[in-house]
Amino acid sequence: MIYEAPVKDMMFLLDDWIGIDQIAALPGYEHVDRDTCEFVLEEAGKFCSRELLPLNRTGDEHGAVFKDGAVMSPPGFREAYAKFCENGWPGLDADPEHGGQGLPRLLQFLIDEMLGSSNMSFKLYAELTHGAYHLMASEASEDIRTRYLPNMVAGSWSGTMCLTEPHSGTDLGLLNTKASRSEDGTYTLTGTKIFITSGDHDLTENILHLVLARLDDAPAGVRGISLFLVPRTLVNDDGSLGERNAVNTASIEHKMGIKGSATCVLNFDQATGYLVGAENRGLMAMFRMMNLERIAVGIQGLGVAEIAYQNALAYARERTQSKAPGPRPDPSKAADPIILQPDIQRKLLKIRAQVEGARAMAVFAGFQADVQARSVDPDAVEAATDFVALLTPLVKSYLSDLGVSSALEAQQVYGGHGYIREHGMEQLVRDARITPIYEGTNEVQAVDLVKRKLTLHEGRLVQRLFQRWKELFDAQATEDELDFVMAPAREALLRLRDLTGWMVERLADDEATALAAATDYQRLFALTAVACFWAEIVAAMAGREGAFFEAKRRIAGIFMQQVLPETVALAVQVRNTDKLSNAVPLLDEA
Amino acid sequence: MIYEAPVKDMMFLLDDWIGIDQIAALPGYEHVDRDTCEFVLEEAGKFCSRELLPLNRTGDEHGAVFKDGAVMSPPGFREAYAKFCENGWPGLDADPEHGGQGLPRLLQFLIDEMLGSSNMSFKLYAELTHGAYHLMASEASEDIRTRYLPNMVAGSWSGTMCLTEPHSGTDLGLLNTKASRSEDGTYTLTGTKIFITSGDHDLTENILHLVLARLDDAPAGVRGISLFLVPRTLVNDDGSLGERNAVNTASIEHKMGIKGSATCVLNFDQATGYLVGAENRGLMAMFRMMNLERIAVGIQGLGVAEIAYQNALAYARERTQSKAPGPRPDPSKAADPIILQPDIQRKLLKIRAQVEGARAMAVFAGFQADVQARSVDPDAVEAATDFVALLTPLVKSYLSDLGVSSALEAQQVYGGHGYIREHGMEQLVRDARITPIYEGTNEVQAVDLVKRKLTLHEGRLVQRLFQRWKELFDAQATEDELDFVMAPAREALLRLRDLTGWMVERLADDEATALAAATDYQRLFALTAVACFWAEIVAAMAGREGAFFEAKRRIAGIFMQQVLPETVALAVQVRNTDKLSNAVPLLDEA
C-alpha cells in the first residue's frame, strides 16, 4: 500500500480558509505560524508513511496476543512506539508544564487523520493515552497531575478509558463496578470492564486506567457514577513504580478488525484507585473528554477513506482491463488502464469530494475546540462551544460512515483482488468498521443530536450555525460564477432548516417519531453541513487562479452534483417516519 | 446464531402471486404441486438450520487448508456434504435422465437462498457443480453427458468454472491459457487460472474443471475462446477413474470471508481436456450458464440479508439497554429491550421490506427462467427470455448490495458485540462482501444493463417490462385503498421511463456519460422494479384478510416510504453525470 499525507490540502484549509493568524491569536498559541504547522504536518506524514504504514498489515496478520495473563503487541509495534515517543508525538498538544509542545488541538486532529490512514491499531495505543491525559489534566488533583502527567506526555505511561461492562454499554447508568472508600483517602474498586482498548500491552512501563464506578452509597443511575484513576502498577510518592495493583486482564476480544489493538476484559479485584474530580460527578467529567474523542473517532474514518482513495486511484492507473470508451491512449494495446472507465472515474471523484469536504468539517470543529479551550473572549467561547457541541455527533457519524463506505468503494475498484488479503483493501474495510460503533454508535450520536443538541439553549446551537451560512449566502451576488456551488448548498440549507423545525415539533409531540428519524436526519444534516463548508471554502478562494484552486472548485462541484442529492431522499424518508408506527407491531410476530 | 427458513413467505410468493398452476403448466413440471413445493422447502430449510448453520462459524475459523498440494475442507464439511448428497439435494433441478429430480429451477433458487443464509462457504462447493452440470447438459457431447453427468447429479463428482487469469478478469478477451489439438481428438491445456472456487477439495472423488482457453490458431479476443472439460482425474471408457490429470493446485487465497470455501490457483501443465461445444464458441456457451449463476449470486446476498435480519431482531428483543420512549412494558426494570427503540424498529423494518421485495424479484426471475427453459409457446419463451436477460444484472447487483448493507445494519444493532467474532455478525459482513464482486462486479452488471440490455431488440426488453407494470397501474381505480403502494410505485416507474430515455440518448451521443451513470441507474432501476413487484403482490392479494396479508401490506408501505425515496436522489445524480467530464482530468494529478 501507498500513503502520502495530504499536507497540501491540510495547509490550504489552515492557511487559506481558517487562517493561521486566527489560531495564533489564541492565548498560548502565539508561537504557531505557517512554517511550524507545515513542518509538523510534513514530519508526521513521513513518520506515518515510513514507520507505521509498513506495520499495518503485520498488526492485522499477527494481532495482539494474550498469553499467560499479559498482552503482547504485534511485532514491530514496540520499536515504532519508542520512535513515536522519541519524536515527541505523544505530547504534541499537551501542556508545556507537563513536557508537552503546547500546539493546537487542531494540529493533533490533522495528525490523527494521518495515524488513522496509516495504522489504526497503532494509533489506538496512543489515542487513549491522549484522551486520558486531557481528562486528568482538567479534572485531577494537582498531586495526581504532577505525579502522572509528565510520564504520559513522554509516552512511557499509557492510559485507558474503562466504561463498558457486559450489561452496560450505551446505557452507562446500568454499570455496577463498585468503589469503596478506604481509610487513607484512596478507594477500592471491584468489577469487570469489557471492550477496554489498550487495557493491557507491552509498549509502556505503566498503564493508567480511568474507571467509572459506583460508590457504595451512590444514587442509582448516571448521577451516581464516579471517576477513578487505577494504575496497573501503583506509583510511589517519589514517582517510582511500586507494587502491581489488583487489575488483571481476563482475555482479549477476537475482532473483525483493528486486530493489532488489544481490546481487553479487565477484572478489578479490590484494586486501589484515586478519585478524579468530585464523587458522583464522574460521568460528566468523562463526557467532556469523550466529545473530543468522538471527533477523533470520526477522523479515524476520514483517515481510512483517504488511504483507500489513494490506493484505489493508484491501482486504477496501473491495472489494465478492457478497452476504454472514447479515444484510446494507445490503440495498439489489448486493454487500457481502468482509470479510463467512466464508472471508476465517478467513484474516485466522489470519494475525493467527500473526503476533502469531510476534512473541512473536521478542521472547522478542531479550530472551534481550540477557541473553546483558549479564547478569553466570552462570546467567542460561547460560539465555539455551541459549534463543537453541535458538530460532534455530525463529525463522528458522517466521517466514520465515510470511512466504511469509501473503503468498500475502493475495494470494489480492485475487483476480486480487493477481496484477498494481499492488497490490504479488505483490512481497511474491517478496521474502519469499528468507527461507526465505538465511542457511542452513530445511532447514539443521532439521539444526542436530536434530543440534546437541537433543543439546548432553546435551539441556539442550530440557529447560530444556520445564521453563519445564511450570511454567507446572502453575501453572494445573484448570477454569481460560484452559483454551481452556492445554489445547491443554499437550497440544502433551506431544506435542513425546514426539516429541523419539523423534528423539533415532533420531539415535543411525538418523540418516538423524531427518534425513528434521527439517523437519517443526522446524515442529512452532515451532508448539508459539508456542502455549506464547501461553499465557505469556494467563497474564501474566489478569484484565485492556478491548478490547485481550479481543482478545488471542480471537486466542490462533484460534491454538489453526486453526493448532496442524497439529502432529497433523506428528507422524504425523515417525514415518512410519521407513518412508521403502524408497522412496528409486525416486529412482535414469532 | 439462529435461522428459520422463510418457507411461509416463499410459499406465498409461489402460490398466491406466481401461481403453482403456472409452473405445473410447463412441460416436465406436471408433477409439481403445492404439497411438493412446501415439502421440499421445509426439508431444505431443516437441513440448512440443522446441518449447515452449525458449521458456518467452524468454516470461518478453521478455513479451507492447503497442505502438500491438496485442499482440505473445514471440519464437518465432509460429513455434511455426504448427507447433502444422500438427501438428493445436488440433483434437485437436474434431468431425471441423469438421476435428477426434475424440479423447477425456481425451487432451486429458493433453496439457494437458504444455503446462502446458513453457510455460504458450503454452498459454493455445491453451487459450482450445479452450474457446471447445466452447462455440460446443454453444451457437451452425448458421450460426455452420459459418462459424467450422473456422477455430478449424485454429488460424487464436483465441478468448477475456470475463467479468470491474473491479467484477465472482467476482460476475458485477454486470457491466454493455451489449448492444442491432440491426435486422438482430445486437447492439451497449459496455463494458470486464478480465483477458482472449489478448484480443489476433499469432498468428492473427482473434480471436473470447465476451462476457457485459446486454441493455437484461434482469433484474438473473445471470438477465439473455447470451452474444455478437464477432469482432475481422467475417466476411463467404462466410467471408472483413471490416472491423475496434469492439473495442480498452486495455492489458495487468503480472503476477507467465505474462508471455508477454497479459492484456488490452478496450474494446467499439458493437461488433457475435452472440447465442450464448438471451437471458438466457448465464451458464449459459458455466458449462457453465467447468467443464471449471476442470479444465484444475487440470491446469496439475499440469503445473508435474511439471516442477518432474523438474528438482529432476536438480539434486539433480548438485549436490554436504556429506557424506551413512550409507555414502558415494565417500569420497575432499569432498562428495556432495545427493540423498543424507534431507530432499531425502523432499521429492522427497512431490512425486512427490502428482503421481502428482493425475494419477490428473484422469484419472478426464477419463474421466467423456467418458462424460458420449458415453455413450448414461442411468445412466452420470447417474453421470458427478455425478462431473464433484463433482470439478471438487477437481481445480481441489487440483491448482493442488499446482502452487504443488511449485514452492516444488523451488525450495527449489536453495537460493540457485533464487532467481535463470537456473535457471527461480522462474518456475515465479510462473507456477503464477495457477492457484489464475483460473477462480474456490480459495475460490470451495470455496463451489461446499459450497453446491452437497454438496446437489445431495439429496446424491446425494457418496453415489455414497463408495459407489464403500466397495465397493472392502469387497472387500478383512482382513490384506491392500495394507493399507498400504487401511487409511489407508479411515480417511480414514470421516473425510470424518463431516465431510460435519457440513458439511451446518452448512449448514442456520449457513451462515457451513460457509462458513468450506469451504476446509479442500475440501482434506481432495481429499486423501481422491486417497488413494482410489491405493487403486483399487493394487487394480487387485494381484499384478502388476516394477519399475514395485513403484514405484507404494511411492509410494502415501509418499502415505499423508507426505501424507494432513494430513487429521487439517484435520478438527480444520473442526470448530473453530464457535468462529470470537467473533473476527470483531476485524476491525472500526481
Subunit contact B516:A326, Cβ cutoff 8 A: no
Per-residue confidence (pLDDT) for residue A326, from 0 to 100:
84
Residue A584 with chain B: CB contacts under 8 Å = 345, 349
Which of B333, B506, B586, B588 has the highest number of chain A CBs within 10 A, making it the mutation to test binding with A?
B586
Burial of A111 (0-12, 13-18, 19+ CB in 10 A): buried
The mean pLDDT of A398-415, rounded to a whole number, is 98
Residue A287: the pLDDT is: 86
Q: Are A347 and A362 in contact (CB under 8 A)?
A: no
Nearest CA in chain A to B324: A512
| Cβ–Cβ below 8 Å for A568 and B569 | yes
Would you give the DSSP letter of residue B14? I
Size of interface A-B (CB pairs under 8 A): 253
Using the beta-carbon criterion (under 8 Å), do B557 and A583 form an inter-chain contact? yes
Binary contact (A421, B256; C-beta < 8 A): yes
Catalytic member of B293, B306, B439, B536? B439
Chain segment A260-269, per-residue pLDDT in tens: 999 999 999 9
Rounded to whole angstroms, the Cα distance separating A107 from A97 reads: 19
- Report the pLDDT value the prediction gives residue B589, as an integer from 0 to 100: 67
pLDDT at A288: 76
Question: What integer is the mean pLDDT of A274-282?
Answer: 97
Q: Report the SS3 class of residue B95.
A: coil
Instruction: Please give the residue of chain B at the shortest CA–CA distance from A451.
Output: B325
Say which of A412, A443, A447 has its CB closest to residue B441.
A412
Q: Does pLDDT of A170 surpass 60?
A: yes
Residues of A with catalytic roles: 439
Bridge partner residues of B226 (DSSP): B213
Which residue is it, cell 484507585? A273
Among B342, B348, B519, whose Cβ lies nearest the Cβ of A343? Answer: B519
Written as one string, the DSSP assignment of A80-126 is HHHHHHHTTGGGTTS-GGGT-----HHHHHHHHHHHHHH-HHHHHHH
Look at strands B233-235 and B178-181 and give their pairing: unpaired
CA gap B179, B209 in Å, rounded:
14
What is the pLDDT at residue A289? 80
Residue A166 has, within 13 A of its CA and on its CB side, a CA count of 5
Nearest residue to B375 (alpha-carbon basis) of B576, B105, B173: B105
B422 to chain A: nearest residue by CA? A254
Is residue A141 helix, strand or coil?
coil
The pLDDT of residue B288: 77
Mutate to test the interface with B, among A580, A582, A588, A589 (most CBs of B within 10 A): A580
Mean pLDDT of successive 10-residue segments in chain B (590 residues)?
98 98 98 98 98 98 97 98 98 97 98 98 96 96 97 98 94 95 98 98 98 96 96 96 98 98 98 97 89 95 98 97 90 94 97 98 98 98 98 98 98 98 97 97 98 97 98 86 96 98 97 97 98 97 94 97 98 97 83
Q: What does the pLDDT read at residue B327? A: 86
Contact A442 B412 (CB under 8 A): yes
Cross-chain Cβ contact A322/B170 below 8 Å: yes
**CA distance to A23, A227, B552, B586, per residue, from A267 (Å):** 44, 17, 49, 54
Supply the DSSP symbol for B168.
Answer: B
What is the C-alpha to C-alpha distance for residues B330 and B145, in angstroms, rounded to an integer? 66
| Interchain proximity A434–B419, CB inside 8 Å | yes
Is B479 tagged catalytic?
Answer: no
d(CA B347, CA A583) in angstroms, rounded, equals 12
Q: Which residues of chain A lie closer than 8 angstroms to B352, CB-CB? A: 586
Please tell me the predicted confidence (pLDDT) of residue B77.
98
What is the C-alpha end-to-end distance of chain A, expressed in Å? Answer: 48
Residue-wise pLDDT tens digits, A417-429: 999 999 999 999 9
- Per CB-CB distance under 8 Å, the chain A contacts of B499 are none
Query: Does residue A590 surpass a pLDDT of 70?
Result: no
CB A344 within 8 A of CB A321: no
Half-sphere exposure of A177 (CA within 13 A, CB side): 33
Please report residues of B whose CB lies closer than 8 A to that of A421: 254-256
What CA–CA distance (Å, rounded) separates A224 from A212?
10
Share of chain A above pLDDT 70, in %: 99
**pTM score, whole prediction:** 0.98
Which of B345, B429, B521 has the highest number of chain A CBs within 10 A, making it the mutation to test binding with A? Answer: B345
Contact: B576, A568; criterion CB under 8 Å: no
pLDDT at residue B302 in the model: 98
Q: How far is A392 from chain B (nearest CA, A)?
A: 19
Cα(B121)–Cα(A418) distance, rounded to whole angstroms?
Answer: 18
Amino acid at A220: A
Q: Tell which of B587, B588, B589 to mutate to test the A interface (max A CBs under 10 Å).
A: B587
Average pLDDT over residues A566-587: 95
Whole-angstrom Cα Rg for chain B: 24
- Report the pLDDT value the prediction gives residue A263, as an integer from 0 to 100: 98
Q: What pLDDT is recorded for position A291?
A: 85
